[in-house]
Structure 1
Amino acid sequence: MNIHVIDTGFFKLDGGAMFGVVPKVLWHKHNPADVNNLCTWAMRCLLIEDGDRLILIDTGMGDKQSEKFFSYYEPHGETTLLKSIKKVGFLPEDVTDVVLTHLHFDHVGGAVVRKNEKLRTTFPNAIYWSDAEHWAWALAPNPREKASFLKENIGPVQESEQLQFLPENSPFPNLDFIKVKGHTEQMMLPVINYKNKILIYAADLIPSSAHVPLPWVMAYDVRPLLTMQEKANVLERAVSENTILIFEHDSVYEAATLENTESGIRIKEKGKLRDLL
């Protein structure tokens, strides 16, 4: 098995929205905001070679939205999803499985491209994996999340006949999933068995290294108190199993290990994923 970090660029989100009730005097030390109170965040995916399968976890924002849409989020950086996949030696046609942790636009946007004015799946030979309950949730969104579930990201996948819902038993020999409901309904966190190590792709449960402390919960979460309990469960498991957490949105640090401290569970080491493996 080989694991590649796939960088798809950066974007900006409001610091207050990303850190919830945590005061700015605390969070700005970790991720300084610009004059508009916007902080820079990564859109970090994974590409896993496992036998005859090439598994992509999340797809970033993509590039098919309007100029007006992008003006809200200021995407930037030289890397893109397809450039990063090509850099490690693969083409879109090589991907066999696309795992979508959830359907917010910054996680699923790259799953669909616009070609000749038509929307189609980016990875034509892949199965697109989602959760059935989350898919239904996204098709009838609540007002809080409606702006994050875009029909141009979801419709083409459903119409492609490539969509499958994750069964109770994982279809992957070295990949399992934790389902969480605090951020959105039934978000899937991939748990990867890699060379006698356990890796958890934390998606939006713990989007960055700064979000490890329990009260540091995004204002975007639909059930923030549940997020805190789900975080506690994942963090306790990570410490007990010496797990590596992979951060999807941290603009600097790809991953971290954890330890118990007098202040609770905190980061032990953080940096590039390859240096922690």
Structure 2
Amino acid sequence: MTSDLRLMSVHAHPDDETITMGGLLSLCADRGIATCNITCTDGKLATIFAPDMPEETHRPRLAEIRQDEMREAARILGITEIHFLGYGDSGMAGAETNTADQAFWVAPLNEDVGKLVEHIRRFKPQVVITYDGNGGYGHPDHIQTHRATLLAVEAAYSALYPEAGPPWEVQKLYYTAFPVSSMKRAIEFAKAAGMEPPFGADDPEDLPFLTPDHLVTTTVDCRTTIMRKREALRAHRSQITTDFPLLAIPDEVAPQFADEFYQLVISRNQSELHETDVFAGLPSEELAATR
């Protein structure tokens, strides 16, 4: 049954949507929930990991390549619509490219927010998902994505940006999360199986992108969509190789690591402290349409 629910995800680069929430996006497709993914930058400064993509021939076309990969991943996951804001990749923190003319990091924040407000008012999502204030791991484009999204969610319901359409109130805003306890379990599994620990870390505390467990409010069971998420990860072939943690494990083990995690930071409705559904607490008539 087609739902009246809608979810918007806002990410920095092509592949971030699949890594952080590919399972949830695919679950939404199964439930008839419309999804809209916004990618802020072209990702053209990323390292090319695919061995069959030589730097000299693929670097000049990397922005185009990554957009094509994003489109294929979206098809696999069942994302309803995708949009590229067109900003340049800023590169890692401290790089000279952070201040390049087209870099997202130095783009006027008012402009970034305005573009997102227009998408929010047009698509009318009840739920929006992006990164925390550190952008997950401190990447300038992730931090700027966080800033712009947080401001846009509030501005969309105000009198600001009148040219962007009638106001729309987002009901729930989430940050993506990777709990310390979940990574600890993955490291323990890898060691027991004689595999390389995820991201080469022997201790979860060595990884900068993890979320303290007490901040995680929402755990989504994505066992039914984990294989689609893995297929979508493979679609981002310039960036993600077979040794990526979720691809390196056997198929029969993957469902054990299928859960996705989120931190609820804004809710206009009464919400439980520990959810299993990002749409929990929304009006019952909207939820009923997805069951």
Scaled to the shorter chain, the TM-score interval is: 0.3 to 0.5
* More contact order relative to length (CA 8 Å, sep ≥ 6): 2
Return the TM-score normalized by structure 1. Answer: 0.34
Query: Normalized per residue, which structure has more strand?
Result: 1
Query: Normalized per residue, which structure has more helix?
Result: 2
Return the TM-score normalized by structure 2. Answer: 0.32
Structure of higher CA gyration radius: 2
